[in-house]
Amino acid sequence: MHPARLWLGLLLPAAAALDFRYHHQEGMEAYLKSVAQNYSSFTQLHSIGKSVRGRNLWVLVVGRFPREHKVGIPEFKYVANMHGDETVGRELLLHLIDYLVTKHGRDPEITNLINSTRIHIMPSMNPDGFEAVKKPDCYYSNGRENFNQYDLNRNFPDAFEYNNVSRQPETLAIMKWLKTETFVLSANLHGGALVASYPFDNGAQATGALFSRSLTPDDDVFQHLAHTYASRNPNMTKGDQCKNKMNFPNGITNGYSWYPLQGGMQDYNYIWGQCFEITLELSCCKYPREEKLPYFWNDNKASLIEYIKQAHLGIKGQVFDQSGNRLPNVIVEVQDRKHICPFRTNIFGEYYLLLLPGSYTINVTAPGHDSQLTKVVIPERSQTFGALKKDFHLPFQVQLDSLQLVNPLCPMVPLYKTIPGHSPITKPSLFLFLVTLLHIFFK
Ligand SMILES: *[C@@H]1O[C@H](CO)[C@@H](O)[C@H](O)[C@H]1NC(C)=O
Ligand SMILES: *[C@@H]1O[C@H](CO)[C@@H](O)[C@H](O)[C@H]1NC(C)=O
Ligand SMILES: *[C@@H]1O[C@H](CO)[C@@H](O)[C@H](O)[C@H]1NC(C)=O
Ligand SMILES: *[C@@H]1O[C@H](CO)[C@@H](O)[C@H](O)[C@H]1NC(C)=O
Ligand SMILES: *[C@@H]1O[C@H](CO)[C@@H](O)[C@H](O)[C@H]1NC(C)=O
Ligand SMILES: [Zn+2]
C-alpha cells in the first residue's frame, strides 16, 4: 500500500456510517452491540424484557454515566415502532444513535447534551410486529399489533375508564422500566400521519372533554414540547402535508381532539410514570420504501436533538429534613398545577418539574407534616443545559421509616372517576366512527 493511502486510512473515523435501509432484529442487534462495544465509556446496551416471540426489547443508553442514575442528571427516553408496521421511527432512532456517538467529543452541542442528560433509546417496542410485515405498505397491516394481536397503544392502565385487557409482555416490560428509572421526558414515535400529539388521549369532563379536548394541568408545557418538535420539521409544521385531509395548525394537536383512545402509553407515562410523553407521527406513509429514509432523517434530525434538550426545562433539586437526610416519597408539586397522582421524590429525594419560565409556588409535603410553600422564579433559559436548581431543607426531622410505610403508588384504576361532578362523556363521534370503520388508526 502507498504510505499516503495508509496515513489517510488512519485519519478516517473507525465507525462505518450506518446505512439507510431497514434493519431487522438481527441486524439491529448487531449494530447496537457494536456501538456499545466501540463507545463503552458513554453507552450501555441492555434489554428490558422480551416480546411474545422471545425477541429482546433493546435499549441503548447514552450518557456521561450510562450505567446508573446520578443526582441532577435527568433521564430521557425515545421509544419507536410500538406499532410494528410504523417503521420510520425505528430507523431514525438508529441514525440518532449513530449521530450521537460519532459527534460526541467533536461537536460541543452534542457533547454537552450527552454530558448532562441520560438518553435511553428503544428503536423497537414491537419487534414481532415489525418482522410480521412482509413488505413496505403505506396503510395498516397486520404487524401493527403484537404477536398476540393486541394493539400495544391500547394496552396500558387508563386514568379515565377501566381498561381490563390482558397486559402484554411488551407493555409489562415498559411499566417495569418506568419504575426503575425516574424518567422526566419522553416521546413515542409512530407513523401514518405528520403531527406532534400531546396528552391526554382519553378524557373526562374534568379535563375538558365536553369541549372535545382533554388537557393536562401542564398544557402550556406540552404545547411547548410539541411545538419544539414540529416547528423544526419542515413538513410537519405545515400541518396539512398528508393526503388524509387532516389539518393540524402548526403541526401539533391534543390527542383527544384528534381522536380519543383508551389505554395509551403517553397518558400512562404522565399519570403513573411522572414522565411527560408526547406521540410523534413522523410519516404520511406508515412503511415507506427505504430510499426515502435519508429524507426522513434530514427532516427530523434537528427536532430529535432539540426535543431531548427539553429535559432541562424548569426546576429540579432534592428534599432534605433537618438532619440532612434526603427524603423519598415527598410530594413536590406546583400550586394550581396538581397532578391527579401527585409527583413525588425518588429514592434520592430528587424531584424534577418541567416548567416554562415564570413565577411559581412550589408545595412540598412530607407525610404527616404541614406543607411548605416556596415562591420561585424560573428565568428564561440559558444555554447551560441545566434546569433551575433548588433544594428544599424542611424545618423538622422525618422518621425515615414512615416514608417507607406510605405507599407512594397511586392505584392503577380510573383516577378521574373519583373527581366530583364527573359524568360519562360522549366521545366526539364522526371522525372516531370513520377511524373505526375504515381501520385508519395511526397513534
Ligand atoms: C466498531 O469498530 C469496528 C472496528 O474498528 C468497526 O469495524 C465497526 O464498524 C465499528 N462499529 C460501529 C457501530 O461504530
Ligand atoms: C461535563 O459536566 C461536568 C459537570 O457539569 C463538567 O464539570 C465537565 O466539564 C463537563 N464535561 C464536558 C466534556 O463538557
Ligand atoms: C374491570 O375491572 C374492574 C376491577 O377489577 C372491575 O371493577 C370492572 O367491573 C371491570 N370492568 C369491566 C368492563 O369488565
Ligand atoms: C417533505 O415535503 C416535500 C415537498 O412536499 C417532499 O418532497 C419531501 O419528500 C417531504 N419529506 C418527507 C420526509 O416526506
Ligand atoms: C400542598 O400539597 C398537599 C399535598 O398534595 C395538599 O394537601 C395541600 O392542599 C397543598 N397546599 C396548597 C396550599 O396548595
Ligand atoms: Zn402508531
Per-residue confidence of the chain (443 residues) as pLDDT tens digits? 444 444 444 444 445 579 999 999 999 999 999 999 999 999 999 999 999 999 999 999 999 999 999 999 999 999 999 999 999 999 999 999 999 999 999 999 999 999 999 999 999 999 999 999 999 999 988 899 999 999 999 999 999 999 999 999 999 999 999 999 999 999 999 999 999 999 999 999 999 999 999 999 999 999 999 999 999 999 999 999 998 778 999 999 999 999 999 999 999 999 999 999 999 999 999 999 999 999 999 999 999 999 999 999 999 999 999 999 999 999 999 999 999 999 999 999 999 999 999 999 999 999 889 999 999 999 987 656 789 999 999 999 998 887 776 666 789 999 998 776 555 566 666 777 777 666 678 89
- Enter the C-alpha cell of residue 232: 423544526
Residues 6+ apart with CB under 8 A from 367: 329, 330, 402, 403, 406
Return d(Cα 77, Cα 352) in angstroms, integer: 15
Q: Relative to the CA of 38, which ligand 1 atom is closest? A: 1
Please tell me the predicted confidence (pLDDT) of residue 161: 96
What's the rounded Cα separation, in Å, for the pair 81 and 129? 9
Pair 385, 113: CB distance under 8 Å: yes
Q: Which residues place a Cβ less than 5 A from the ion ligand 6?
A: 83, 86, 190
Rounded distance between C-alpha atoms, residue 224 and residue 247, angstroms: 19
Q: Which of 86, 281, 333, 350 is catalytic?
A: 281
Ligand 4 centroid distance, CA of 120 (Å): 29
Q: What is the pLDDT of residue 433?
A: 74
Check residue 429 and give its pLDDT: 67
- Grid cell of 134 as nine digits: 412482509
- Cα–Cα distance measured from residue 421 to residue 245, given in angstroms and rounded to the nearest whole number: 36
| pTM for the structure as a whole | 0.94
Dist CA 386 CA 384 (whole Å): 5
Q: CA end-to-end span of the chain, whole Å?
A: 55
C-alpha cell at 279: 406521540
- Cell 381498561: give the residue: 163
User: How remote is the CA of residue 235 from the centroid of ligand 4, in Å?
Assistant: 6
- What domains lie within the chain, and their CATH numbers? 17-312 (3.40.630.10), 315-405 (2.60.40.1120)
What is the pLDDT, as a whole number, of residue 1? 43
Q: How many CB atoms sit inside 10 A of residue 247's CB? A: 12
Closest CA to 316 of 384, 367, 270: 384
Asked if 281 is an active-site residue, the reply is yes
233 pocket-lining for ligand 4 (C-beta < 6 Å): no
Distance separating alpha carbons of residues 128 and 289, to the nearest angstrom: 20
Q: Dig out the grid coordinates for 405 from the structure.
A: 410505610
CA separation for the pair 165, 153 (Å, rounded): 12
Amino acid, res. 71: V
pLDDT given for residue 112 in this prediction: 97
* Residues 111/222, Cβ–Cβ less than 8 Å: no
Rounded Cα–Cα distance for residues 272 and 341 (Å): 7
DSSP E strand stretches across 92-248 = 118-122, 183-190, 193-198
